[in-house]
Structure 1
Amino acid sequence: MDHIYLTGFMASGKTTVGQLLATELGRRFIDIDDFIARKSGKSIAEIFNDEGEDEFRRLEKEALREISSLEPAVVATGGGIVTNPENIDLMRRSGIIVNLGVSLETAVARASASSVRRPLIAAAPLLYEARREAYNLADIRVDTDGRAPDEVASLIAKHLEDLRLGVTLRIEFPRKTGAYDIIIRPGCMNELPRALDELGLSREVVVMSDETVWGFWGDTLLEGLRARGCKASIYVIPPGEASKNLDTVASVYDFLTARKLGRDTVMIALGGGVVGDTAGFIAATYMRGIPFVQVPTSLLAQVDSSIGGKVAVDHKQGKNLIGAFYQPRICLIDPFTLRTLPYREYSQGLAEVVKCAILSGDEFLELLEREKEAVIAGRPPVLTEVIRRCCVLKAEVVSQDERDEGRRMILNLGHTLAHALESLTGYGKLTHGEAVSIGLVWACRLAWRVGLAPEGLSERIRNLLTAMRLPVSIPTDISPGISPGGISPEGIIEKMVLDKKARRGRPRFVLPSRPGEVGVYDDVPDDAVIAAIQDVLVHADPST
């Protein structure tokens, strides 16, 4: 584990807790203010008085850059270090950020009673509010109000140990498919070379990724593979759903055959759902099947598409129409890869998380409602547990119904409408997660309209998705030249008939009756389907 950076408002206890934590972990302790003072020959107060805050922030940034290259340590940062996004990015790339939470009242009381001079204490209320959002970007947050420093240090140490241990799940299949492990652990991407050896797989590998993901994680993966003696060929595609097609598949076939790569070559998918689905389909079909490894780097892929062996590409008539069932040999889920995602991309996975919570039951749903701030911020301790619960659910369902012939259909909750919306809008205006978000609200509304679920369920799901900044109705700019009124319920139903769950020309619907209880229905009246579509097609009164 790399550096542990303690952030927090003035008087949150960063220095005291940091020293205790460093002792407990057997690490060096660095106080960044002391580091700056030694380098400059002035106290922090003197730098502020003589040269101003801007000069101090420059020195602070330089100090952080220098410290980040040293041996891993516990680092107590200054309260304002988070005001520079470049500092946050550097801390995330070189370690784990731990925020020491403190109320404004407690911080002011502690600072006033301290002998340490605080140059910015007079502006404490304004600074506290201005920095609140940046503090929330921490990987771990521990509240310090009412807690002794040694208790805070012990809590942090426990969180760090939980992250180090992570979780290993195993999916067992009753058919000849066998079994494979899902490893969920921050930093586990670095374990890939060893995993290949333990599985007895060839050191001839092909890594398929997209341009964005490769830019962030390619060097890290490649360095580890080559250090283990692997010969790696790289194939990088443009990011986005537009790359998930047979043209891409054909190009990769050409790439593989030109290099005379055989059936023992390992296909490694480094990326989100598009990369995983496409690479998996290629692995399933090249030379009738080559070993396949999933390293998902988006939340959507980590909680959904990388688990269960569905691999496919899109056709102009619909999403995922050309595919196979093909299980990976191992799946490595590294929550740290989510740090590089823009929020819109990250939130795609949150829609699938909410879907899993509806399928799992009230306990998971209540966890999301209670910890939504930590989930939205992507804090690894909570996020690892959320990912674990999603994977446990999917592993349990998939192990019973690998080929989507029965119970596995419940995993399509929200997807019947979602796939129709994606197809109608050309796979571009709405992300998959945004379409699923709307689809979840629609499914709950439809369940209410046919008497399966209480109306309160749709409102509960709507509120949670809204808090996660996901759409809950079809936006007005859904497609160039098309208004919500221009997308008709009849047009949506026409696309639903092409859904893979449809039978004899009739769509089938996955509908919840309550959290944890979901069924598949093919006898839903058309007028109820149309009414529920209208609920999300326009901002209708939910009570009508």
Structure 2
Amino acid sequence: MPRHKTNNNIALIGFSATGKSVVAMKVAERLKWTLIDTDDEIVKLSGKTIPEIFKQDGEDKFRQLERKVLSQACQKEQAVIATGGGAIIDPENQKLLLGTSVVVCLEAKPETIHQRLLHDSLYSANHVVRPLLAGDNPLERIRQLKATRQPHYAVADWTVHTDNLTLDEVSREVIKGWQYVNKHHRSKQSTKIDPACVVETETASYPVFVDWGILDRLGEKMTQAGLSGTANIISDKTVFSIYGARVKKTLEKAGFAVNCFAVPPGEASKNITQAVKIYDFLIERRVERNDVVVALGGGMVGDLAGFVAATFLRGLPWLQVPTSLIAMTDASIGGKVAVDHPQGKNLMGAFYQPRLVLADVQTLTTLPQRELTSGWAEVIKHGLILDADLLELLENNVKNLIKLKPDITSKVIARSAAIKCQVVSEDERETGKRTLLNYGHTVAHGLEAAGKYDRFLHGEAVAIGMMAAARLSHRLGLLSPHAVERQESILQKFGLPTHCSGVPLTDVLAAMELDKKVRGKSIRWVLLEDIGKAVIHSDVPKKEVLNVLKGVIKP
């Protein structure tokens, strides 16, 4: 949330057992700042323990004390403030913290939180039973409560995933976040955002914005693009729970009326049944042709919302707000919209360009690790087919990119998005150069269909598909063994699969025959001649394809 900071405090927010108190102590020690633990201050102020306050005086009294303590803490200079798990939910507390401190959210998976709470309960000196552990299913209680709080945690300037980090590592990440925010975001709200690239086709021209912390500029950018009327946010339930309220607020602030519709997450929702449900929703809301569809989410949401926008009332203006890496660098750019058919992926669709794309790279910090890893496949693909320098940049910055270091991550995503922009501008309808973007996708779409769209994430399937394509390129005498090894190495360094097992090869082949890249009954294979140089072949012998597939799809 870009804004001017009035002092240099650090405030830690996050769910119970994410380590706020111990991390705050470590950060304060490193910076030689004052440590303020709001729970400790509440105990001092009231003369009672936290459980006693809740039992004797109720939660309202506790929240009243919490507000008072936070107000006093935020008046300090150079303080590290550890807040309670629910403190950020109170609008007054949120405004106070965001206005006076760099707010860092400590994240952890529900399973990690559960294990930490169990450990504390078993080994703490006072043996107090934590309320979250009471009852028959504490893990589910943690999941549900954390889900309700997630949208409030999403306002943080910086997020640290603590699951697999030591105390020292978490404290260093917190300090890095504080340094970054102070360096880059003191007055970003008033600065101009230049597009990373502009798509220029025969049918449309639109900007693609890529930067860290720009989600709250969405309403402004929509107004600048000449959009008006009612904004209809289409999202999935997971993304909407985190960013829905925030996006709705920024759109209303810009003068838009807002409707919201969320579908279940996952590729299984990208079907004609869900599209009809959205049509029904738009009809009920009396949506008109000058109203706008806002696709908020990953590639599935963009495809589904774009398909609805292209077909409802013969076309509504729409825009993409990608929150996944795969969408930011690939799926959100180019106007390819579609829903899946049981026999194949994206068989019902259209080319329908958005009015703008706005990618806030910071939203990747709330993306599940598996989805984030999956997204790097498309970025790597862009380097392999068209930009050898980009691939080298990826190879030289693997660790920082995996950790989502803001500067290098924003730079790489913007560069990858610019490649997609350039290709789409030259070939909107995939009659020539744009076909190169399908590198790895022939096998990938076969794998996804054979896996019923729930076995593989798209990037995982693409990574395996790219290995098949690279090995096929080598077997046909196009690509050197070194280049194949280099591709395999970069995929593995980013944690992507290079083979799979347990998928019927016959099902993969059947789905490949239905793929959109088939022409004249022959598959148009995108292959490599070198790193950064892709070509198209339609005369690939089936026996070579089978040999390669048997190498990447194990029994």
With the shorter chain as reference, the TM-score category is 0.7 to 0.9
Aligned to 2:170: 134
Match of 2:361 among 326, 330, 335: 335
Deviation at 1:32, TM superposition (A): 4.3
Residue-by-residue CA offset, 1:191-215 (whole Å, 9 max, x unaligned): 1222222222223121111110110
Residue-by-residue CA offset, 1:365-410 (whole Å, 9 max, x unaligned): 1211221111112222121111111111000100000011111000
Distance 1:94 1:217, change over 3 A: same
Match of 2:35 among 30, 33, 36: 33
Match of 1:246 among 263, 272, 284: 272
Match of 1:390 among 416, 419, 423: 416
- Alpha-carbon distance in structure 1 between the residues aligned to 2:462 and 2:225: 36
Equivalent residue of 2:477, what SS?
coil
Deviation at 1:360, TM superposition (A): 3.2
Match of 2:540 among 524, 538, 542: 524
AA matched with 1:411: L
Aligned to 2:288: 262
Distance 1:491 1:248, change over 3 A: closer
Distance 1:40 1:15, change over 3 A: farther
Aligned length: 457
Q: Is the 8 A contact 2:97 2:103 kept in 1?
A: no
Aligned to 1:171: 198
Distance 1:137 1:372, change over 3 A: farther
Aligned to 1:507: 523
Aligned to 1:466: 492
Confirm or deny that 1:408 pairs with 2:434.
Answer: yes
Q: Is the 8 A contact 1:96 1:139 kept in 2?
A: no
Equivalent residue of 1:492, what SS?
helix
- Alpha-carbon distance in structure 1 between the residues aligned to 2:103 and 2:210: 28
Match of 2:512 among 496, 519, 536: 496
Name the % identity: 35
Match of 1:288 among 299, 314, 317: 314
Aligned to 2:56: none
Give the 5 Å matches for 1:311-390.
Answer: 311-390=337-416
Distance 1:406 1:135, change over 3 A: farther
Aligned to 1:25: none
Confirm or deny that 1:230 pairs with 2:256.
Answer: yes
Deviation at 1:98, TM superposition (A): 9.7
Aligned to 1:452: 478
AA matched with 1:501: K
Match of 1:184 among 202, 206, 210: 210
Deviation at 1:310, TM superposition (A): 0.3
Aligned to 1:95: 157
Aligned to 1:399: 425
Aligned to 2:74: none
Give the stretch that moved more between structures: 191-200 or 67-76. 67-76
Deviation at 1:252, TM superposition (A): 1.4
Deviation at 1:161, TM superposition (A): 7.8
- Alpha-carbon distance in structure 1 between the residues aligned to 2:83 and 2:405: 24
Distance 1:90 1:230, change over 3 A: closer
- Alpha-carbon distance in structure 2 between the residues aligned to 1:141 and 1:451: 48
- Alpha-carbon distance in structure 2 between the residues aligned to 1:525 and 1:61: 64
AA matched with 1:33: L
- Alpha-carbon distance in structure 2 between the residues aligned to 1:36 and 1:163: 30
- Tell me the C-alpha RMSD between the 2 structures: 3.7
Distance 1:200 1:362, change over 3 A: closer
- Alpha-carbon distance in structure 2 between the residues aligned to 1:498 and 1:257: 34
Confirm or deny that 1:426 pairs with 2:428.
Answer: no
- Alpha-carbon distance in structure 2 between the residues aligned to 1:244 and 1:408: 23
Distance 1:234 1:97, change over 3 A: closer
Give the 5 Å matches for 1:109-124.
Answer: none
Q: Is the 8 A contact 2:233 2:258 kept in 1?
A: yes
- Alpha-carbon distance in structure 1 between the residues aligned to 2:388 and 2:24: 34
AA matched with 2:158: I
Q: Is the 8 A contact 2:297 2:324 kept in 1?
A: yes
AA matched with 1:401: D
AA matched with 1:293: L
Aligned to 2:97: 70
- Alpha-carbon distance in structure 2 between the residues aligned to 1:395 and 1:379: 24
- Alpha-carbon distance in structure 1 between the residues aligned to 2:165 and 2:224: 50
Deviation at 1:292, TM superposition (A): 0.4
Distance 1:427 1:11, change over 3 A: closer
Equivalent residue of 2:97, what SS?
coil
- Alpha-carbon distance in structure 1 between the residues aligned to 2:546 and 2:97: 62
| Structure 2 stretches lacking a partner, 5+ long | 12-22, 45-79, 117-145
Distance 1:261 1:157, change over 3 A: closer
Deviation at 1:249, TM superposition (A): 1.2
AA matched with 1:509: W
- Alpha-carbon distance in structure 1 between the residues aligned to 2:492 and 2:246: 36
Match of 2:236 among 193, 196, 210: 210
Aligned to 2:222: 196
- Alpha-carbon distance in structure 2 between the residues aligned to 1:505 and 1:312: 22
Confirm or deny that 1:15 pairs with 2:27.
Answer: no
Q: Is the 8 A contact 1:269 1:296 kept in 2?
A: yes
Equivalent residue of 1:187, what SS?
coil
AA matched with 1:527: K
Confirm or deny that 1:305 pairs with 2:305.
Answer: no
Deviation at 1:529, TM superposition (A): 1.3
Equivalent residue of 1:70, what SS?
helix
- Alpha-carbon distance in structure 2 between the residues aligned to 1:8 and 1:428: 40
Give the stretch that moved more between structures: 247-256 or 458-467. 458-467
- Alpha-carbon distance in structure 1 between the residues aligned to 2:24 and 2:396: 22
Aligned to 2:71: none
Residue-by-residue CA offset, 1:80-107 (whole Å, 9 max, x unaligned): x9x9999x999874223699xxxxxxxx
Equivalent residue of 2:467, what SS?
helix
| Structure 1 stretches lacking a partner, 5+ long | 17-30, 43-57, 100-127, 143-152, 476-482, 540-544
Give the 5 Å matches for 1:30-69.
Answer: 31-33=33-35, 60-62=82-84, 69=96
After TM superposition, the score normalised by the length of structure 2 is 0.73
Q: Is the 8 A contact 1:241 1:427 kept in 2?
A: yes
AA matched with 2:97: L
Confirm or deny that 1:538 pairs with 2:540.
Answer: no
Deviation at 1:258, TM superposition (A): 2.2
- Alpha-carbon distance in structure 2 between the residues aligned to 1:515 and 1:400: 21
AA matched with 1:324: A
Q: Is the 8 A contact 2:103 2:156 kept in 1?
A: no
